[in-house]
Amino acid sequence: MAERGKRAEPRGQLLITETDPKSPASEAYRTLRTNIQFAGLDVPHRSIVVTSSSAGEGKTTTVANFGVVAAQAGSRVCVVDADLRRPALHRIFNLSNARGLTTALVEGLPFAKIAQPTRVPNLSTLTSGPLPPNPAELVGSKRMRELIEGSADDFDLVLFDTPPVISVSDPVALAAQCDGVILVIMSAKIPHNVVRRAAEQIEAVKGRILGVLLNSVNLQRDGYYYDYYRYYHAYYGGDKKR
């Protein structure tokens, strides 16, 4: 059920990599997967925070679809809802949120003990669980660090969905404990100074920004990207009107 006051988006639109794997959007997520793999040739990135500078930039959708394509490539993946204020992954994957990340933290249980399997082979989801009064303290705790380190025994890749950097300190605290950060930015919406401030906050705790994902690019306006996707559709024999 959608939250009151929010319009529920069809699940297929959110998990495009599952419902339409040959779409340009799905190919973009696979490109992201490949780039992250090459960035970690010497030291693999096993735990990655996905965040944004502000709300509504697409970080949760990115986590879900990145998780799908990584699992489709054969990796054991766990997507974790570390947004302990406005969790959403349980709705995307249609899972119960009675137990989750907060359960693992309070009870000291490994992620694999609480994470729920999804319809995608190799992909598990650790929902947020009951929302706590002290999210920042939980995600920045010693126990969180221990659970992240222990997750390497059960998963090849753990992706964390977090609140926006500018709004709260949770993602910054988590960035200090993970191997890297992906910053999702909504094209032509967020001022440069806001993005710069978000990056500076991550780097201040020695968080490693692996890259920036530019979301909702206007293909009609940007000729380079328009040609890229036109050729992509031609290669797959897609509908030219799409």
Domain assignment present for residue 18? The answer is no
Domain assignment present for residue 14? The answer is no
Domain assignment present for residue 79? The answer is yes
Distance between CA atoms of residues 229 and 231, nearest Å: 5
What tokens were used for 190?
């967020």
Please give the angle made by the CA atoms of 152, 157 and 159, to the nearest 5 degrees: 115
What domain count does the chain have? 1
User: Which range has the worst mean pLDDT, 38-42, 128-132, 212-216?
Assistant: 38-42
Please give the angle made by the CA atoms of 209, 214 and 217, to the nearest 5 degrees: 175
> 132: Cβ–Cβ under 8 A, 6 or more apart, which residues?
84, 102, 138
- pLDDT higher for 57 or 122? 122
Q: Are 129 and 111 in contact (CB under 8 A)?
A: no
% of the chain residues with pLDDT over 90? 66
Domain assignment present for residue 17? The answer is no
Domain extent for 76? 25-236
Domain assignment present for residue 223? The answer is yes
Domain assignment present for residue 198? The answer is yes
Cα 225 to the center of its chain, rounded Å: 23
pLDDT band at 219 (very low <50, low <70, confident <90, very high): low
Q: How far is CA 173 from CA 104, 118, 143, 176, in A?
A: 18, 28, 13, 6
Please give the angle made by the CA atoms of 34, 40 and 44, to the nearest 5 degrees: 110
pLDDT band at 78 (very low <50, low <70, confident <90, very high): very high
Domain assignment present for residue 7? The answer is no
pLDDT at 220: 57
pLDDT at 59: 94
Domain assignment present for residue 241? The answer is no
Distance between CA atoms of residues 237 and 22, nearest Å: 10
pLDDT of 217 higher than 90? no
CATH number, domain at 108? 3.40.50.300
